Homo-oligomer: A and B are copies of this chain.
Amino acid sequence: MSLEVSNRNTMMQESPIRKLAPFADRAKEKGIKVYHLNIGQPDIKTPEGMRAAYRETPEIVAYGPSAGLASYREKLAGYYRSRGIDISAEDVFITTGGSEAIIFSFLAALSPGDEVIVPEPFYTNYNGFAVMAGVKIVPITTTIENGFHLPTIEDFEKVRTDKTRAVLFSNPGNPTGAVFTREALEDLADFARRYKLYLISDEAYREFTYGEREAVSILELSGLEENAILIDSVSKRYSACGARVGTLISRNKKLMEVVLKFGQARLCPPTIDQMAAEAAVDTPDDYFKEVNAEYKKRRDFAFQALSDIPGVTVKKPEGAFYIIAQLPISDADHFAKWMLSDFSYNGATTMVAPAAGFYATEGLGKNQIRIAYVLNTGDLKNALEVLKEGLKKYVDSGLGG
Q: Which residues of A contact B (CB under 8 A)?
A: 2-9, 12-15, 18, 39, 41-46, 50-51, 54-55, 57, 59-64, 66, 96-97, 99-100, 103, 107-112, 125, 127-129, 131-134, 165, 196-198, 226-227, 238-244, 252, 254-255, 258, 261-262, 264-273, 276
Q: A8-B107, A43-B60, A55-B57 are in contact. Are A242 and B265 (CB under 8 A)?
A: no
Residues on B with C-beta less than 8 A from A62 are 41, 241-242
Q: Which residue of B lies closest to A39 (CB)?
A: B63
> Are the CB atoms of B264 and A18 closer together than 8 Å?
yes
Residues on B with C-beta less than 8 A from A108 are 5-6, 8-9
> Are the CB atoms of A5 and B109 closer together than 8 Å?
yes
Residues on B with C-beta less than 8 A from A197 are 3
Query: In the assembled complex, how far is the CB of residue A70 from the closest CB belonging to chain B, in whole angstroms?
Result: 11
Residues on B with C-beta less than 8 A from A41 are 62-63
Q: How distant is the Cα of A394 from the Cα of B366 in the complex, in angstroms?
A: 71
Q: How distant is the Cα of A127 from the Cα of B265 in the complex, in angstroms?
A: 8
Q: A63-B242, A241-B61, A266-B97 are in contact. Are A258 and B55 (CB under 8 A)?
A: no
- Most-contacted residue by chain B among A42, A131, A264 (CB, 10 A): A264
Q: How distant is the Cα of A213 from the Cα of B158 in the complex, in angstroms?
A: 64
- Most-contacted residue by chain B among A131, A270, A271 (CB, 10 A): A270
Residues on B with C-beta less than 8 A from A6 are 107-111, 258
Residues on B with C-beta less than 8 A from A51 are 57, 59, 61
> Are the CB atoms of B255 and A271 closer together than 8 Å?
no
> Are the CB atoms of B97 and A267 closer together than 8 Å?
yes
Q: A54 is contacted by which of B5, B57, B128, B131 (Cβ under 8 Å)?
A: B57
Q: List 15 A-B contacts (CB under 8 A).
A: A6-B107, A7-B112, A42-B60, A45-B59, A46-B59, A46-B60, A50-B61, A61-B242, A63-B241, A112-B112, A129-B265, A131-B265, A244-B269, A244-B270, A272-B272
Q: A262 is contacted by which of B12, B61, B238 (Cβ under 8 Å)?
A: B12
Q: How distant is the Cα of A240 from the Cα of B197 in the complex, in angstroms?
A: 40
List 6 A-B pairs, minimum CB-CB distance, nearest first: A128-B265, A242-B271, A12-B261, A54-B57, A7-B111, A61-B240
Query: In the assembled complex, how far is the CB of residue A209 from the closest CB belonging to chain B, in whole angstroms?
Result: 23
Q: How distant is the Cα of A240 from the Cα of B59 in the complex, in angstroms?
A: 10
Residues on B with C-beta less than 8 A from A269 are 244
> Are the CB atoms of B241 and A9 closer together than 8 Å?
no
Q: How distant is the Cα of A401 from the Cα of B110 in the complex, in angstroms?
A: 41
- Most-contacted residue by chain B among A59, A62, A128 (CB, 10 A): A62
